[in-house]
Amino acid sequence: MHRATPSIRSAARVSLRPGAARPISISASWRSQQQQQQQQQQQQTETPRSEPEDTRAILRDVGLLALAFGGAFGLSVALLSSGHAGPSTRQLRSDRYVSLKLLDARRTCSPSSTEGDGQHVYLSIEGPSSVGQPRLSSAELLHQGDGAREGEDLRILSVYLKEPSLQIERAYTPLYAEALTSGSARSPIELLIKRYPDGELGRYAHRLSAHDTVEVRGPEVTWQGKRSEIDELILIVGGTGITPAYQLITTLLGRPRHGGAPARADAPPKIKLLYAAPRPSSLLLLPELAQLQRSHPDMLDVRLFVDEAERGRRTAGGGLLSLFTRARASAMTEHGMEAQIGQVARADVEAALSRGQASRQDGRRQLLVCGPDGLVAAIAGPKAHDGRSQGSLGGILGQLQGISREKVWKL
């Protein structure tokens, strides 16, 4: 189930020409969408002109160009010599990179904890001054359901980070969407990034430290839905696939508050999270998830799964796992939450589906599956070869009665 190559990774494996503002290797669907938009824009702006009008227009254009060039040159010289970016350059947009400062960079599995497995880095990036319109990550999002985009008030948003020397970019999911929603106060963009032994962006992210500058673009919508149409969200995730799920959970329930009053969130949807990782030490965001479950016991139900136990962790009964007892243990406790030893099985998925009233109303239930290729394929069938299209419904969900493809989204 846990291969070292996440499906979400392949979708984002895009290279950039040095100095280019956006990727040169882009998916066919995105490219054709963009060409259509450009053609439409040309058709709208091109109007026939008479000859003298044409000459005047050319002279005017040349004059304007010279003015613009002179102005832009002056401005860039001023910015370079002043040594820091002006406020407009901190505007986050999906079509070009902005340089933002790192406020924090730490090896940890959670922003609120010093614990880490050495494989994950937490980055806190200064909030942008403003945020542009989010772009849809796939054409399928546009055609989801009846194709209506109005009222899609629940969203998972991601950003792209660029590795400056290799000119490659990868997508990452901020832990809190508020950093990317225009109109709100500009809170930092917080990311948790996994390092694969020969993963390009992950290794770059792990070399960063506070005060470094990173190149970011976005936001991009990776899933959207209407809150009023969903009574129950079932999130089945593995590894770093927890980050989109966590963003959605905090969009609905608010940030975890240690000791403070819980954010008011008693309106649907209720959330069931099935979260799998290789080992207890590689489960991310556990203090935050435990806090959210304590504050919202009726709204959030977290089930953890690990492939193997580790020595020194607590069993569900409270004892310490030793070299000898860990082979026989079937469950353990992590931050007060039970972690089952073994992969997410059909019985676990069926149990999640049968709890709660929405089980009798598939139309008001949404399932999101996110993580390594193996997990996504085992739970919902593989994504299509292009890595972006959803593919057909398969795996455990494909075998169950009453689960329709439109209600399952693979991230």
Is position 119 an interface residue for ligand FAD (rule: CB under 6 A)? no
Query: Closest CB to ligand FAD among 202 and 395?
Result: 202
Q: Nearest Cα to 249, choosing from 306, 291, 192, 218?
A: 291
Q: Of the candidates 16, 125, 179, 193, which one interacts with ligand FAD according to CB under 6 A?
A: 193
Distance CA 36, CA 54 (A): 27
Residues 107, 196, 316, 359: which binds ligand FAD (CB under 6 A)?
196
Applying CB under 6 A, the span of 146-154, 166-174, 230-238, 319-327 interacting with ligand FAD comes to 166-174
Q: Residues 94, 124, 138, 222: which binds ligand FAD (CB under 6 A)? A: 222
Closest CA to 370 of 171, 181, 187, 198: 171
Least gap, CB of 104 to ligand FAD (angstroms): 16
Q: Are 91 and 128 in contact (CB under 8 A)?
A: yes
- CA angle 191/194/199 to nearest 5° reads 125
DSSP at 39 = H
Q: Say how far apart CA 339 and CA 246 lie, in whole Å.
A: 18
CB of 14 to ligand FAD, least distance (A): 10
Q: How far is CA 72 from its chain centroid? A: 35
Q: For residue 239, what are its two tokens?
A: 């590894």
**Exposed (0-12), middle (13-18) or buried (19+): which is 29, by Cβ within 10 Å?**
middle
3-state secondary structure of 230: coil
What residues from 284 to 303 belong to the interface with ligand FAD (CB under 6 A)?
none
Whichever of 8 and 353 has its CB closer to ligand FAD, that residue is: 8
Please identify which residue in 16, 124, 154, 172 interacts with ligand FAD, judged by CB under 6 A. 172
Which residue in the set 90, 93, 155, 194 belongs to the binding site for ligand FAD (CB under 6 A)? 194
Residue from 144, 240, 251, 366 touching ligand FAD (CB under 6 A): that is 240
Q: Is there binding between residue 201 and ligand FAD (CB under 6 A)?
A: yes
Residue 199 within binding range of ligand FAD, rule CB under 6 A = yes
- The stretches of 159-199 forming alpha helices (DSSP H) are none
DSSP assignments along 272-292, one per residue: EEEEEESSGGG--SHHHHHHH
Site string for ligand FAD, 8-47 (x = CB under 6 A): xx-xxx----------------------------------
What is the helix, strand, coil percentage profile of the chain, to 5?
Answer: 35, 25, 40
The stretch among 3-11, 54-62, 91-99, 288-296 that binds ligand FAD (CB under 6 A) is: 3-11
Q: Which helix (H) or strand (E) holds 63?
A: helix 51-82
Distances (CA, A) of 199 to 9, 27, 169, 399: 10, 21, 12, 34
Name which of residues 330 to 369 contact ligand FAD (CB under 6 A): none
CB of 23 or CB of 232, closer to ligand FAD: 23
Binding region for ligand FAD (CB under 6 A) = 4-6, 8-9, 11-13, 158, 170-173, 191-194, 196-202, 222, 240, 243
Binding site for FAD: which residues? Answer: 170, 172, 192, 194, 243
